[in-house]
Amino acid sequence: MATKLPSIDVLLIGFGWTGAIVAQELADTGLSIVALERGQWRDTPTDFAPTFDQDELRYMWRHHLFQKAPSETFTFRNNQNQTALPIREWGSFLPGEGVGGAGVHWNGQAWRFLEKDFAQKSHNQQRYGKAAVDGFDMTIQDWPVSYADLEPHYDKFERICGIGGKAGNIGGAIQPGGNPFEGPRSREFPNPAMEQTYGPALFAEAAQSLGYNPFPQPSANMSQPYTNPLGLQLGPCTYCGFCEKFGCGNYSKASPQTTILPVLMKKSNFTLKTGSTVLKLNLDDSKTKVVSATYVDHAGQEFEQPADLVILCAYPFANAQLMLLSGIGKPYDPKTGQGVVGRNYAYQITSSVNVFYDDKLINPFIGSGALGMCIDEFNGDNFDHKDLGFISGGFIQVLNTGGRPIEMIYVPDGVPKWGAAWKKAAAQSYLRTTTVATHGAVMSHRGNYLDLDPTYRDVYGRPLLRITFDYTEQEHRMSDYLTDRAADIARAMKPREIKVNKRTGAYDVAPYQTTHNTGGTVSGTDPSTSVTNPYLQSWDVSNLFLMGAGAFPQNAGYNPTMTVAALAYHSLEKIKSTYLKNPGPLVSQVGR
C-alpha cells in the first residue's frame, strides 16, 4: 500500500540534464518542485575525483556510472519475426543512471542540428521527390519547431556549458575557420576551440587538400577557465582522455554537476529524492489529467506523490516505458501504422577508418572527448543526393577522445586478435595510429519501434521495454558512402596503411556504437503521428510534459545533447509564459 504524500506543484521524473534544466528554470517561479531519481546522488569529489576518475576498468568495462542492467534492462530484436531477449550487459549504447544521468559520462560533443534537419521530410521531398522520403518504409516527418525557434535556446545552453568552438555562421555571414554549413548563430561561441593535437591536425590538412572545410569540434570540455551565467566555474581541460564513460574530476566538462546543481540544490523550494524509481503515473477518471506518480524507494516502500504538473525527464526508453505502463497515448502498432507511443524509434550509424603511420607520433593519450577536427560536407542535405539512393548523412572527423589502454588499441588488418604477434603490433601501433570516424543519421522506419515486452519483467514486476530495430538499406548506403569519403581523406593523410571498418549486416546490440537513442515519444503538430505537441506537452494529458530525445521525429547526423537542451528551454519558455498562468492544452487539437 503506497503512502500518499502531500501534493506539490511540479514533479520531475529523472534527474539528468533535462531534470536539472527544468528544475533550475522553474525554481525561480517559487513553485514547489520535487525530482525523483532512481539512482544515487553523485558529485565530483565523491564519485569521480581526479585520484581515481581515469579508472578504465571500473568505469568503462564494469559500467560504474551506467544503468544497472541486472535490475532494469530492455529486450532487443532486429525485427518482428524474432523473439526479443533481454540485454544483460550493455554494449551498443550506455544509458546513464544516478544524478546527472548520462550528462556525467558524455564526451561533450556539442552540436547544433542543421536548419534543414528540422524540415527533414518536406525539404527532401521537395528536392528529390516523394519516393525519396517514402522509400525503405520510412516514417520521417518534419519537426514541429525550426532551427530559428531553437537558436536562442541553443545559445543559452552553450553559455551554461561554456562550449568552445569556432562559429561558421554568425547572423548569415560565413566565418572562416568555422562550419560553413551550420545555421546562423546569434554570436560566437562563449569559449575558443580546444587546442588541436597532431591527429586532428593531419586530418584537417588532408581534408583541406581535398577541398573540404575542416573546423574544430564544438566542445563542452573547457578550452580555458570559464564562469557560466549562474556563477558556476569550470577549470581548463587537462586533455587526460577520459571523458566518454567517465566523470570529470577536474571540473572541466560541462555536466549538471558542474553547471547547474550547486546553484539549484540551495533553492529551498526544490527537493531531490534519489533512490526513487517511478512505477507508474496515475490518471484521473477523465484520463486527461495525471494526478500523481507511484514510486518505490530503495527500502522497497511505495509512495504516491500527487502533483499539479508532471514532467518526464528520464532517458527516451524510460519515458516511453512509463507512458506505456501508465496507459497514456495510443501504443504504436507497426502492422497498422496506427498509434504513437513507441513510434519512430531511431539510432545512429557509425563507422571508422584506422590510419597507421610509421613516421608520425600521434600520442593519442593526449585527448579529450570533444577534441578534434570535423567536416560537414556530407551531413544532412549539405550535398547533392541525386542518384545516390539515400537521404541524409553525417559528419566525418578525427576526434582524439583519448588513448585508453584497454579500449583504444588499434592494429592493422591481418594481425591476430591475441598473442605475441598482437602484442608486437599493438606496441608498434599505439602511438602511431589515429582514426577517422563517421557519425551518420538514422531515419525513422515503420518497423523500428518500442513497446512492452510480452515475456520479460524487471525487478519491480513491470514488463521490460522491447526495442525492435535494424538498419535498412537507407542507412547502409548512407554509411558506406560516408565511409568511402572518410577513406579518401584517410589516404590523403599519407599513412603507411589504412583499415576500413564499415558497418555491415544487421544492427548488433553488443559492440559499442553510440548512446544516441531517439524517438518513441515524438513531438509534432499532428496528434495522429506524435505523442507531444511542439512544446513537448502530451496531446492526451495536458499537465504532462516529456523532455528529451524521445521527441526527435528521426535522428540527425549529430550528437543530440544540445538539441535536447534547446527543446527543453523552448518548452520551458512556453510553460512559464503561458501554461503556468492558464494550465491546459497549449495547442488546440483541430478536428480530433
Partner 1 sequence: MRAAAAAILLAVTAAGASATEQEDRGKYLVQAADCQPCHTKQGGQPWAGGLALDTPFGTLYSANLTPDKETGIGNWTPDQFYRALHEGIDDQGHHLYPAFPYNYFTRVTRDDSDAMLAYLKTVPPVKQASARNDLTWPFSMRWLMAGWNLLFLKEDTFKPDPAKSAEWNRGAYLVEVLGHCGDCHTPMNPVGAPKSDEAWRGGHIGDLFAPDLSANQRIGLGSWSTDDIVGFLKTGRNAHANASAAMGEVVEQSTQHLTDQDLKAIATYLQAIPASAEQLTEAASQDQMTLGKQVFDDQCSACHQPKAQGVPNLFPPLEHSAEVQQRDATTLIHVILTGTRTASTDTAPTPASMPAYDWKLTDDQIAAVTTYIRNAWGNSAPAVPVKDVAALRKKLVQDKPPA
Select 257 or 319, whichever has its Cβ closest to partner 1: 257
| Residue 234 Cβ vs partner 1, minimum distance, rounded to whole Å | 8
| Residue 45 Cβ vs partner 1, minimum distance, rounded to whole Å | 4
Measured on CA atoms in the order 240, 103, 277, 449, is the torsion positive or negative?
Answer: negative
Geometric angle at alpha carbon 127, from 124 and 128, rounded to 5°: 75
Specify the residue for cell string 562550449. 163
Q: How many CB atoms lie within 10 A of CB 173?
A: 9
- Per-residue H/E/C for 380-404: CCCCCCCCCCCCCCEEEEEECCCCC
**DSSP per position, 509-528:** SSS------EEES-B-S-TT
What type of residue sits at position 295?
A: Y
Select 241 or 334, whichever has its Cβ closest to partner 1: 241
| Residue 261 Cβ vs partner 1, minimum distance, rounded to whole Å | 9
Please state, in angstroms and rounded to a whole number, the distance separating the CA atoms of residues 369 and 560.
15
Pick from 91, 350, 109, 107: which is nearest to 241 by CA? 107
Find out whether 77 and 83 touch, Cβ atoms under 8 Å: yes
| Residue 236 Cβ vs partner 1, minimum distance, rounded to whole Å | 6
Pick from 238, 154, 213: which is nearest to 189 by CA? 154
Q: Is 516 a catalytic residue?
A: yes
Please state, in angstroms and rounded to a whole number, the distance separating the CA atoms of residues 296 and 393.
43
What type of residue sits at position 105?
A: H
Please state, in angstroms and rounded to a whole number, the distance separating the CA atoms of residues 437 and 419.
28
Select 242 or 469, whichever has its Cβ closest to partner 1: 242
Exposed/middle/buried for 306, CB within 10 Å: 0-12, 13-18, 19+?
A: middle
Of the candidates 63, 385, 516, 570, the residue annotated as catalytic is 516
Q: Residues in the site for partner 1, rule: CB under 8 A?
A: 44-45, 49-51, 225, 230-233, 235-236, 238, 240, 249-251, 258, 262-263, 266
Select 230 or 500, whichever has its Cβ closest to partner 1: 230
Select 262 or 306, whichever has its Cβ closest to partner 1: 262
| Residue 220 Cβ vs partner 1, minimum distance, rounded to whole Å | 16
Which set of grid coordinates corresponds to residue 441? 543519421
Which set of grid coordinates corresponds to residue 167? 562559429
Please state, in angstroms and rounded to a whole number, the distance separating the CA atoms of residues 107 and 516.
12
Which helix (H) or strand (E) covers residue 441, if one does?
A: strand 433-441
Pick from 246, 250, 195: which is nearest to 219 by CA? 195
Select 44 or 107, whichever has its Cβ closest to partner 1: 44
| Residue 223 Cβ vs partner 1, minimum distance, rounded to whole Å | 13
| Residue 43 Cβ vs partner 1, minimum distance, rounded to whole Å | 8
Please state, in angstroms and rounded to a whole number, the distance separating the CA atoms of residues 384 and 423.
44
Select 238 or 282, whichever has its Cβ closest to partner 1: 238
| Residue 576 Cβ vs partner 1, minimum distance, rounded to whole Å | 23
Select 240 or 436, whichever has its Cβ closest to partner 1: 240
Select 85 or 230, whichever has its Cβ closest to partner 1: 230
Please state, in angstroms and rounded to a whole number, the distance separating the CA atoms of residues 324 and 130.
33
| Residue 239 Cβ vs partner 1, minimum distance, rounded to whole Å | 10
Count Cα neighbours of 256 within 13 Å in the Cβ-side half-sphere: 28
Specify the residue for cell string 515524438. 522
Cβ neighbours for 461, distance < 8 A, ≥ 6 positions apart:
none
Catalytic residues: 516
